[in-house]
Amino acid sequence: MSLFVHYLSLPYLIEGIWFTLAVTGLGLAGGLILGLVLAAMQLSRFWVLAAFARGYTVIFRGTPLILQMVFAYDALPQIGLKLSAIGAAGLALAANEAPFIAEMLRAGVLGIDRGQVLAGQALGMTPGLLMRRIIAPQAIRTMIPAFGNETVSALKNSSLASVISVQELTLRSTQLASSTFDFFSIFFASGLIYLALTTGVSVIQLFVERVLDLDRPATQYRFARLLPWYRAPLALEPITAGPVASTEARSDAVVPFAAPVKDVKASRADRTKRSATLTRNDAVVEVNGLYKAYDSQPVLAGVDMTVRVGEVVALLGPSGSGKSTLLRCINHLEGWDAGTVKVGGRRMGFREDGKPLSPRDLANERAMVGVGMVFQQFNLFGHLTALENVAGPLRWVHGLSRIDADRRARELLERVGLSHRADALPRHLSGGQQQRVAIARAIAPNPSVLLLDEPTSALDPELVNEVLEVIRRLAIEDGLTMIISTHQLRFADEVADRVVFLSGGSIVEEGPAHEVLTNPRNPITARFLSIMDADRPTAAPA
Amino acid sequence: MMLENIFEDARNFLDRAGFARRSRHVAMGAACLIALGISGQAQAAPAGCAALQAKYPAWKGKTLVNAINPHTPGYEAIDPKDPSKYVGFDIDLGEQIGECLGFKLTYKAVTFAALLTTLSSGQADIVISDIYATEERAKAADFITYSKVFDGVLVAKGNPKKIDGINLSMCGAAAAENTGFVEVPLVQALIPQCKAAGKPEPTLQLYENNANCIQAILAGRADTYVNDVNTVDQAVKANPDKLEKALAVTIPYSVGIAVPKDKPEFRDAVLAALIEVQKAGIHMDLLKKWELDVNNFKEPDILSVK
């Protein structure tokens, strides 16, 4: 026992810790840099880079670290690269850690909800911006436990540097054991030192997790969380003060807009006048002969459509009829096989000479032309508050100052009835609230056209109305140009100027909303409408 | 307990020999004079060394790297009292040669099997680490031989398997050896002999250093460990109630200093310096200092194969 204490406090062993930490530090830092490069290559659009990264991963993940150490130490000098022992050990450990770290990074990036990426693209964020502002902040949070693991494993793996004469803890322990024959006292002592080091790593990991925790716990939990027996509560409390019920009541109270429900006859007269005005307006969206197929199965079989300034178009049709695809083609979130799409007179996604734009240039064009998009699944940025979801893209993409962006965001949250939830994270909002934030986010940069892809389909029935109310106000009060794919026939009748009915990738019928909805000419439209009968608007009494 | 043994031995020895910088304050006076007499550290380099430094000026004032496998107390191991230092016969001899040629040595601790690769990769300049100079190894490095080899057979107390050397008595036994040791092929060569005699084959357990081989016997995993007799004696001294030396056997090799094959001038300089060190009686003094058998003494030769 006294020998054990003697070795535990022996400066010779304690100093060995520095070598252990130096090799571990070099290995992790180098591995992180190399891992970032590898992960970027694997995720790259260029297959040669991806293949190279794969090859590297196969080799360095598939050979023992001890061989890599000996290689870095004894073989590299043959080609004139003579590193110090610590340098060689650090290099080998970095080369070995890199594929593991790259896989962690890749899993973290791929783990981010694809919808958030689409939403970011639709907002005109370049790939770099998306990575920096949306993907990385969320991926890093999910990767911290894996990083903790990797650090502990690197720390233990650094002991293999003993074979290439790095004076780290293991080498010093074995040497000491050889010269004193106190085998067990020494190895218990060095084992305890390793344990202290790995415990340190765990503490740092928990600390970083806590600092980055979006649902920062109340003060009394802060230290309790560091204890090993602490378990996070399963149900997360909303962070706003006050009981949930009153919050809901408040939000509901805000939504219904002040304008009285339209008189049907008055609106009929208005509509005729309105449609006459609209036909004189410029076209915002012009789709010509749009054709797209998956495996020779056409999803869009030659679609022609023009939407004019201020017009609200409802896209109807059964699931799989091509509504979503058409919307995604309009802002070039998806490519197509033939035909043209022009927004504001520009061919989105193509250069003057007809060649496709790079993702970065396409993003800039989206931001410039201004096509807002609202998704069925809301696709809010999960790590940002409601306010930041709206204000962030304004700053990053459109260069607004923080003050201006926040002011605009607060204005819009107020309009969608959510100013009291500005600081809430998306996961603490109801579906309807999330979709209202998503709408605020989409209209924040004043888009020339807003695309809404089944904006209420993912909502519980009781939440549908609050979202429809918001959209209705945008159409009526703001005169915003909109293309909405929806199954809400009554809503389409109230809000849309025109209905476009898609089936099997083609437009089978289009015309003034009320007319098509009440008197369909095409049998497919008629059948669809009769199936959806419950929600069908009735012909206005004479 | 074990540690105290070693310290006790070391103290006895130091009192007798009166050597070492650290114990100078203990053994003042007469002992100090003896120390001056036998320790090259304290005395000027042998007379012929000045001429050698003039003839081989390339290494004067340099610091060279000596790759060692510091797991053999007596030859090379860390100093239990000051683990930042390496001590032993080989360490002292290397420093005497360095003194003679005007260079200093730093040490690089590697596994036994990595000694020569470390040298040939240029990560070390010289290897003085109780390594036997064999034809096979001479393909990787040139050797300047300086010591004869006597092996001891380490067994558990009472020698339950009655092993008396690398011979048919080892059939069916488990032998612990260091990776890369010359004893490994000798034990392997026993396998067909045992078979021919209708006896079970011996098995080999390979470890990374002496301490692990000795632990294998202490743990009952191995029956014997054949290595340099001094190493075996040290192990017995540390565990007198658990281990014993069965026998000393002669092995037809010499211990050598390894130098890179592509530096014949360095090899010749080391050879010349070793001759001077031997002429001055220092080599013999060091054998006594480290309680090694003076019969180990050998006039140097060069072993170099194409």
**pLDDT, mean of residues A176-187:** 86
pLDDT over 50 (residue A486): yes
Q: List the one residue out of B79, B153, B244 whose CA is nearest residue A172.
A: B79
Under 8 Å CB pairs connecting chains A and B tally to: 87
Question: pLDDT means per 10 residues in chain B (306 residues)?
Answer: 41 39 40 42 70 92 94 91 92 95 94 89 93 91 93 92 90 91 89 94 90 90 91 90 87 91 94 94 93 89 88
A230 or A162: which carries more pLDDT confidence? A162
**Alpha carbon distance B81, B104 (integer Å):** 23
Higher pLDDT, B257 or A174: B257
Measured at the CA of A126, the angle between CA A120 and CA A128, to 5 degrees, comes to: 105
A231 confidence band (pLDDT: 50, 70, 90): low
Structure tokens, B234: 């040290």
Q: What is the mean pLDDT of chain A?
A: 86
Residues A401-434: pLDDT tens digits?
A: 999 999 999 999 999 999 999 999 999 999 999 9
Q: In what order do the strands lie in the sheet with B71-72?
A: B71-72, B76-79, B82-87
Pairing mode of beta strands B297-303, A506-512: unpaired
Tokens of A395: 């700053």
Instruction: Give the tokens for residue A297.
Output: 């199965």
Cβ neighbours of A10 in B, within 8 Å: 83
Each residue's pLDDT tens digit, A135-158: 999 999 999 999 999 999 999 999
| B37 or A287, which is more confident | A287
| From A4-13, A32-41, A56-65, A259-268, the region with the lowest mean pLDDT | A259-268
Mutation to test the A interface, candidates B1, B81, B118, B225, most A Cβ within 10 Å: B118
Contact yes or no for B121 and A77 at CB 8 A: yes
- Using CA atoms, how far residue A6 sits from A10, B49, B215, in Å, is 6, 44, 21
Alpha helices in B239-306, H assignment, sequence order:
264-279, 282-289
Strand partners, B131: B256
Tokens representing A322 are 């091509």
Q: Which residues does chain A have within 8 Å of residue B73's beta carbon, measured at their own beta carbons?
A: 178-179
The residue among A238 and B162 whose pLDDT is bigger is B162
Distance in angstroms (rounded) separating the CA atoms of residues B88 and B75: 4
Nearest to A74 among B6, B117, B239 (CB): B117
The nearest CA of chain A is from the CA of B302 a distance in Å of: 25
Which of A70, A77, A176 is opposite residue B78, by nearest beta carbon? A176
pLDDT at B7: 41
Angstrom distance (rounded) from CA B15 to CA B24: 10
Cα–Cα distances in Å, from A181 out to A204, B2, B4, B5, B71? Answer: 36, 7, 11, 10, 10
**Does B71 lie at the interface with A, CB-CB under 8 angstroms?**
yes
Residues 242-301 of B with CB under 8 A from A: none
The verdict on A12 touching B (C-beta cutoff 8 Å) is yes
| B88 three-class SS | coil
| Chain A residues touching B77 at Cβ < 8 A | 175, 178-179
Q: How far is A35 from chain B (nearest CA, A)?
A: 29
- Other CB atoms within 10 Å distance of the CB of residue B48: 16
**pLDDT higher at B181 or A438:** A438
Task: Provide the token pair at A310.
Answer: 């201020």
Contacts of A171 in chain B (CB under 8 A): 109
Asked whether the beta carbons of A437 and A386 are under 8 A apart, the reply is yes
ipTM value = 0.72
Residue from A362, A309, A302, A299 nearest A483 by CA: A309
Residue A329's closest CA among A393, A286, A377, A283? A286
| Pairing, β A283-294 against β A297-308 | antiparallel
pLDDT in tens, A323-341: 999 999 998 888 888 888 9
If 0-12 CB within 10 Å is exposed, 13-18 middle and 19+ buried, where does residue A364 land? Answer: middle
Lowest-pLDDT choice from A348-357, A516-525, B85-94, B287-296: A348-357
As a whole number, mean pLDDT of residues A375-379 equals 94
Distance of alpha carbon A437 from alpha carbon A378, whole angstroms: 8
pLDDT of res. A86 = 92
Give CA separation, A339 vs A290, A302, A368, in Å. Answer: 4, 7, 22
Residues 6+ apart with CB under 8 A from B48: B276, B279
Q: How much is the pLDDT for B295?
A: 86
Q: Give the separation between CA B247 and CA B152, rounded to whole angstroms.
A: 6
Q: In the beta sheet, which residues pair with residue B258?
A: B127, B143
Query: A3 to chain B: which residues are within 8 Å by CB?
Result: 3
Count other Cβ atoms within 10 Å, centred on residue A153.
15
Contacts with B79 from chain A: Cβ below 8 Å: 179
Closest residue in chain A to residue B75, using alpha carbons only: A179
User: Cβ(A484)–Cβ(A372) under 8 Å?
Assistant: no
**Which of these, B296, B37, B7, B1, lies nearest to B151 by C-alpha position?**
B296
> For A540, how many CA atoms within 13 A lie in the half-sphere containing its CB?
13
pLDDT band at A537 (very low <50, low <70, confident <90, very high): low
pLDDT, residue A364, reads 87
* Residue in chain B nearest A76 by alpha carbon: B121
pLDDT at A260 over 60: no
CA distance A77 to B118: 10
Q: What is the pLDDT of residue B266?
A: 95
- Which residue on chain B is closest to A70 by alpha carbon? B114
- Structural contact between residues B256 and B182, judged by C-beta atoms closer than 8 angstroms: no
Q: How far apart are CA A360 and CA A397, in angstroms?
A: 12
Other Cβ atoms closer than 10 A to A442: 25
Contacts of A189 in chain B (CB under 8 A): none
pLDDT at B34: 43
- B121: contact with A, CB 8 A cutoff: yes
Contact B49, B277 (CB under 8 A): no
**Residue A224: which pLDDT band, with cuts at 50, 70 and 90?**
low
Q: What is the mean pLDDT of residues A378-406?
A: 94
So what's the pLDDT on residue B44? Answer: 60
